[in-house]
Amino acid sequence: MTKGKKTAKYKYYKIEGDKVIRLKKMCPKCGPGVFMAEHLNRFSCGKCGYMEWKQPQKKEE
């Protein structure tokens, strides 16, 4: 994380009625509270380095 720049936490959650919905994927190794970064072809955790590759989308004709 860059110095002096804060994370916009309001982009990670959505409120519907009386429920809070998490919009980002959580890290399975670190547990709840640690979100994974979403890249073009993968999800990665900045804390532990865990990485999941996205499945390529098949084109339907």
60 CB burial (10 A radius; 0-12, 13-18, 19+): exposed
Task: In whole angstroms, give the CA distance from residue 58 to residue 61.
Answer: 10
- Is 20 annotated in a binding site? The answer is no
Residue 45 annotated as lining a ligand binding site:
yes
**Does 30 carry a binding-site annotation?**
yes
Annotated binding site for Zn(2+): 27, 30, 45, 48
Annotated binding site: 27, 30, 45, 48
